[in-house]
């Protein structure tokens, strides 16, 4: 380990931060209730964008007439672009210098682009040629996912590491973010189809909803900007912004916990998209009534409420990573049993609800597990790469979202799905069952595999202590 590369900034704790005391691990706390609320608002914009990207396949195939296979290819191309922009944005955040800090200003700077990106997703020219529709869709999806989502997600994730080093406070931030994000994700998943149908079910209805969601997202980002800060008066910072890009990549690849979380985030977000974006196909063609999506969503709120109520005490009792693993085991068991009764509405409600319950812990602590690798990377390599580390979170989310959306399009196309048909062929029904029942069970199992050896929780307090001792020596 090369300790000569450290750039050290040690800040003395303020009186207010001292009044908050330390957490159970002896790490200074910095967060008050209004900080959690303001911070959680930023997750709204991310979940709105990712949620709308998830349902774009349905919008493109059934509302504007783009072939399912074409939609799948659009999503794949978008994610290849994402692979580049995620890492570049991590480097940009690490190098950002403004009076507001490294990460905080991006919440303000991305508010209007978020509004524009959300609306543009649905203003595709309905009367244009198929080629023009495809080009428009590709450009606007890249703008929304690879530029705007990235420009929000990585600095927003970095705020957690910059704002506090307390695992307890990071855990609370993760739960608060997950609750606010999940609420809006559920609004999209449960209410988007019924509301757009109520407004006429045409493209104009989708645009109206997009304007509302875009406005809410922009306001949420401004609120996060106003409530956050980066003075970190309570902790010693060692933010490194002079590391060349390719050296940063090499340093990340030496961080085994970052790699674990990269793949865990990839597979859990594939699961999220399958669960949130394919329900409309299941209710419409398997159950025969697309409005049942609202009932399933309403019933699905029960395990969500239970899950968020349990996750904080679970974290206190079992730790962050164990809490996530317990959730995965519950989800794997429920989704595995459902594979034996794929046509059952009751199984969809009950076992689907248990699967949702199992994903809540990972939703709440995933970002925290990513940010805790910041200190591990600094301890191992001597470089603190907050932005680049958070690229794992954004990269995993977007690659997962994009790959899942592409798989939806491709698998539907393989089954000869045709959105203009009232009744689908048997091959399309099989494709829908693969997407809604069988694949989610597999992706949950893969998530668990990558979480299985994440044991940073027990090492974290000692790592933080050693880092502080090294800084004090300089």
Instruction: Give me the percent of the chain exceeding a pLDDT of 90.
Output: 42
Q: How many CB atoms lie within 10 A of CB 8?
A: 12
Is residue 52 pLDDT above 50, yes or no? yes
d(CA 252, CA 172): 26
DSSP state letter for 385: -
Q: Which CATH number is associated with domain 39-228+238-469?
A: 1.20.1250.20
Judged on CB neighbours under 10 Å (0-12, 13-18, 19+), 9 is: exposed
Q: What is the pLDDT of residues 177-206, one digit of tens each?
A: 988 887 887 788 778 888 999 999 899 999
Angle of helix 256-277 versus helix 33-62 axis, rounded to 10: 50
For CA atoms 443, 396, 322, 363, the dihedral sign is negative
Strand partners, 22: 28
Spatial separation of the C-alpha atoms in residues 276 and 473, rounded to whole Å: 51
- Helices 111-120, 33-62: inter-axial angle, 10-degree rounding: 20
Residue 362 CA: distances (Å) to CA of 13, 287, 352, 358: 32, 30, 16, 8
CA quadruple 153, 155, 156, 157: dihedral sign:
positive
User: What are 82-109's pLDDT values in tens digits?
Assistant: 878 988 888 888 888 888 888 999 999 9
pTM for the predicted model, two decimal places: 0.71
Distance CA 248, CA 450 (A): 23
Average pLDDT over residues 361-388: 88
For the stretch 381-431, pLDDT in tens is 888 888 888 876 677 776 787 788 788 888 998 999 887 788 889 999 999
3-state helix, strand, coil in the chain (%, to 5): 80, 0, 20
pLDDT of 61: 85
Spatial distance between the Cα atoms of 445 and 336, rounded to a whole number of angstroms: 10
Under 8 Å between Cβ of 155 and 93: yes
Mean pLDDT of the chain: 86
pLDDT at site 456: 93
User: What confidence tier does 474 reach under pLDDT thresholds 50, 70, 90?
Assistant: low
Residue 333 — pLDDT band, cuts 50, 70, 90? very high
Tokens 């991310």: give the residue. Answer: 46
Query: Is-contact 233 10, C-beta < 8 A?
Result: no
Kindly state the DSSP code that residue 228 receives in the 8-state scheme: -
User: Which pLDDT score is estimated for 231?
Assistant: 54
Q: State yes or no: pLDDT of 6 exceeds 60.
A: no
Distance of CA 42 to the CA centre of its chain: 12
Which pLDDT belongs to residue 10? 34
Q: How high is the pLDDT of residue 454?
A: 94
How far apart (Å, rounded) are the C-alpha atoms in residues 278 and 437? 10
Q: Cβ-count burial of 309 within 10 angstroms (0-12 exposed, 13-18 middle, 19+ buried)?
A: exposed
With cut-offs at 50, 70 and 90, classify the pLDDT of residue 8. Answer: very low
Q: How many CA atoms lie within 13 A of 54 on its CB side?
A: 31
Q: Where in the chain are the domains?
A: 39-228+238-469
Alpha helix positions (H), 63-103: 68-95
**Confidence (pLDDT) at 392:** 63
The pLDDT of residue 127: 85
């Amino acid at each position: 380990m090369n300790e000569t590369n450290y750039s050290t900034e040690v800040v003395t704790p303020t009186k207010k931060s001292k009044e908050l005391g330390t957490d159970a691990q002896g790490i200074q706390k910095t967060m008050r209730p209004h900080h959690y609320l303001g911070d959680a608002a930023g997750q709204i914009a991310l979940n709105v964008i990712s949620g709308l990207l998830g349902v774009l396949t349905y919008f493109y195939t059934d509302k504007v007439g783009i072939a399912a296979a074409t939609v799948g290819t659009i999503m794949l191309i978008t994610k290849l672009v994402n692979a580049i922009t995620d890492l570049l944005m991590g480097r940009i955040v690490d190098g950002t210098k403004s009076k507001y800090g490294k990460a905080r200003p991006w919440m303000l700077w991305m508010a209007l682009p978020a509004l524009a990106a959300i609306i543009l997703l649905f203003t595709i020219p309905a009367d244009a040629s198929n080629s023009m529709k495809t080009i428009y869709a590709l450009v606007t999806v890249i703008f929304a996912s690879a530029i705007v989502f990235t420009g929000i997600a990585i600095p927003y994730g970095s705020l957690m590491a910059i704002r506090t080093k307390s695992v307890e406070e990071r855990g609370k931030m993760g739960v608060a973010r997950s609750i606010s994000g999940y609420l809006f994700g559920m609004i999209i998943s449960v209410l988007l189809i019924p509301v757009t149908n109520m407004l006429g079910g045409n493209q104009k209805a989708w645009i109206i909803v997009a304007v509302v969601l875009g406005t809410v997202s922009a306001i949420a980002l401004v609120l996060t900007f106003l409530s956050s800060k980066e003075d970190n008066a309570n902790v010693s910072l060692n933010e490194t912004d002079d590391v060349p890009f390719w050296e940063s990549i090499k340093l990340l690849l030496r961080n085994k916990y970052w790699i674990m979380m990269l793949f865990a985030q990839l597979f859990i977000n594939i699961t999220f998209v399958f669960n949130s974006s394919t329900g409309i196909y299941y209710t419409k063609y398997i159950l025969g009534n697309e409005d049942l999506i609202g009932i399933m969503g309403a019933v699905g709120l029960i395990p969500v409420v239970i899950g968020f109520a349990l996750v904080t005490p679970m974290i206190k009792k079992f730790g962050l990573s164990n809490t996530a693993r317990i959730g995965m085991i519950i989800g794997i068991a429920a989704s595995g049993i459902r594979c034996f009764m794929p046509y059952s509405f009751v199984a969809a409600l009950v076992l689907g609800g248990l699967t949702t319950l199992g994903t809540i812990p990972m939703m709440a602590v995933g970002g925290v597990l990513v940010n805790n690798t910041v200190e591990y990377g600094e301890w191992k390599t001597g470089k603190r790469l907050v932005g680049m580390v958070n690229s794992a979170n954004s990269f995993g989310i977007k690659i997962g979202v994009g790959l899942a959306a592409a798989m939806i399009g491709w698998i539907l196309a393989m089954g000869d799905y045709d959105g203009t048909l009232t009744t689908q062929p048997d091959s399309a029904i099989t494709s829908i069952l693969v997407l809604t029942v069988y694949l989610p069970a597999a992706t949950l199992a893969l998530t668990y595999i990558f979480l299985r050896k994440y044991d940073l929780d027990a090492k974290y307090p000692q790592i933080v202590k050693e880092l502080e001792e090294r800084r004090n020596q300089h």
